[in-house]
Structure 1
Amino acid sequence: MTFVQSVCSAVLLTLACACCQAQGIQVVTEDTSYSYLENGRVAGPASAVVEATLQRAGLSDYSLALYPWARAYDMALQQPDVLIYLIARTTEREPLFKWVGEITRIDYHLYKLRARQDIQVRTLTDARQYSIGVLRDDVRQKYLRNQGFSKLVVSATNRDNFQKLLNQQIELVAMPERDVAMLCEDVRVDCASLEPAYTLDAISMGLYMAYSLATADETVNRTRAAFDSLKAEGRVSLLLSGQR
């Protein structure tokens, strides 16, 4: 390689690195009661926790975006400098991400229309006979599939699943209570027309924020330290409750 070629290569490498740095951190999530669009920007209590954490860490170059869960998850698997939330920390996922901290804990329930008295779920085995709405690549889909469920109806968003339940295209939907309450309000449905039929205790777990593996350790460590300090101060609990 000549001197000129070496210089050109060095310049191109510098420009490439500058472009990577200019991109900043891509913060991705899905539409839930914890993260949603409000006046054209991503808001919600979990989003407030993430933004407060990044600001405390001095990482001001970031952008928040909502995607269907499968796309957000794939971005966090494949791309550098991606921060995903709220993601369940399972044994399978443990080596796939750089984990920052637990934002909240969640319980998933199988909901049905209250009028469907023919649907009775006393055990997990009972639920196998019914069609159940789940999200693609979500912990609920993976858990039920591993338990031998064959009547899973996969959708891109919680809202799609909820509408299918209302339209009786599915018989059950796996959701947390908070998301059901938000969707009832959004589509102007009385939540009393639904009821939890069964609780999926095995996947009641913590939901985290986590970085993609190709993210620099310095970024991860700064974010983790900032989150730990916010949690110790009680700020995380306040932000989740809607306070500042």
Structure 2
Amino acid sequence: MKTLFLTLGLSLAPLSAPLAETLHFVTEEYAPFNHTKNGKITGIAVDQVKAIAKATGIEYTLDIMPWARAFAMAENQPMHCVFTAGYNRARAGRFAWVSPLLEDRMVLLKRKGERYDELTIVKARELKVGSQRGDFAVEALELIGFKDIDLATDIDITVRKLLTGRIDLMPTSIKTYERMVKDGLPVEKAMLLAGQIYGIACHKDTPPALIKRLQAELDRLIKSGEQDRIFTAYGLPSGTRTAENDVKK
């Protein structure tokens, strides 16, 4: 009988071992969702990731870096996940997904007071648009015909370029735009873009059982109202309702 138990233990060990590995979460400086404050990584998405990782009982790390690097790590290195990542058809099969950390609309921003009368996608393509290297917004803009997009390493650089006139427009989520206005940045909506779901994109070989556990905890976080409370704590509306009430159609 002892031999049988030993044999069963050895045969089951490889199945459970991957779940004992450390999962590495990587993200970028993109307030209020993920950013560094007083030497600590915090934000709306960070709080959710920490909560569901803790609930699953897994070992994990959390690092912040330029988006292009974080995205490449999640795509190429096992047991790595990047957030807050926009989900689309092109990315669907490249990662194992846990979502939604938020659902939002995207918007093109302009400098406050700058006039682009009756702006359309066709007219916007004639202006200088900037974003962050590897950001979902770049892919979204390219799909609707934008070319020669000015790329920066992070959103703070893109914002500075917009405010100093080096670019005319920048894409971001409505929730990020609302935070910018609260922070006193002189930016305005130029035009509304499509809606988007954002989540955690993990290396495609991440154990399915681990992805399932993380998704179950995120579902529980949303159902309990905790996700809404996290958004409220940062002064923003609910994470899984499209914020468009103040958008001019």
| TM-score category (smaller protein) | 0.7 to 0.9
Paired residues for 1:21-100 under 5 Å: 24-32=22-30, 33-59=32-58, 61-100=59-98
TM-aligned CA deviation for residue 22 of structure 1? 8.3
Work out the number of aligned pairs and report it. 217
**Deviation larger for 206-215 or 44-53:** 206-215
Give per-residue Cα distances to partners, 1:100-136, cap 9 Å, x unaligned. Answer: 121111222111113322x335211110110001121
> Helix, strand or coil: the match of 1:241?
helix
Q: Which residue of 1 aligns with 2:157?
A: 160
Deviating above 4 A after TM superposition, structure 1's stretches of 4 or more consecutive aligned residues are 20-23, 181-186
Query: Which TM-score applies when normalising by structure 2?
Result: 0.80
State the distance in 2 between where 1:206 and 1:150 align.
24
State the distance in 1 between where 2:202 and 2:138 align.
22
State the distance in 1 between where 2:178 and 2:225 align.
26
Contact 1:133 1:152 in 2 (8 A): yes
Which amino acid counterpart does residue 109 of structure 1 have in structure 2? Answer: V
Q: Which residue of 2 aligns with 1:237?
A: 228
What's the % identity of the aligned pairs? 25
Which amino acid counterpart does residue 162 of structure 1 have in structure 2? Answer: V
Q: Which residue of 2 aligns with 1:179?
A: 176
Q: Which residue of 2 aligns with 1:216?
A: 207
Unaligned runs of 5+ in 1: 1-17
TM-aligned CA deviation for residue 68 of structure 1? 1.3
Which amino acid counterpart does residue 153 of structure 1 have in structure 2? Answer: D
TM-aligned CA deviation for residue 21 of structure 1? 8.3
State the distance in 2 between where 1:150 and 1:174 align.
14
Contact 2:102 2:197 in 1 (8 A): yes
Contact 2:108 2:170 in 1 (8 A): yes
> Helix, strand or coil: the match of 1:28?
strand
Provide closer, same or farther for how the CA distance between residues 64 and 22 of structure 1 changes in structure 2, counting only shifts above 3 A. same
Q: Which residue of 2 aligns with 1:197?
A: 190
Which amino acid counterpart does residue 73 of structure 1 have in structure 2? Answer: F
Q: Which residue of 1 aligns with 2:100?
A: 102
TM-aligned CA deviation for residue 178 of structure 1? 3.4
Contact 2:107 2:192 in 1 (8 A): yes
Unaligned runs of 5+ in 2: 1-16, 235-249
Give per-residue Cα distances to partners, 1:21-76, cap 9 Å, x unaligned. Answer: 887111111112111112212111211111110111111x2111111111111011
**Deviation larger for 93-102 or 143-152:** 143-152
Contact 1:159 1:183 in 2 (8 A): no
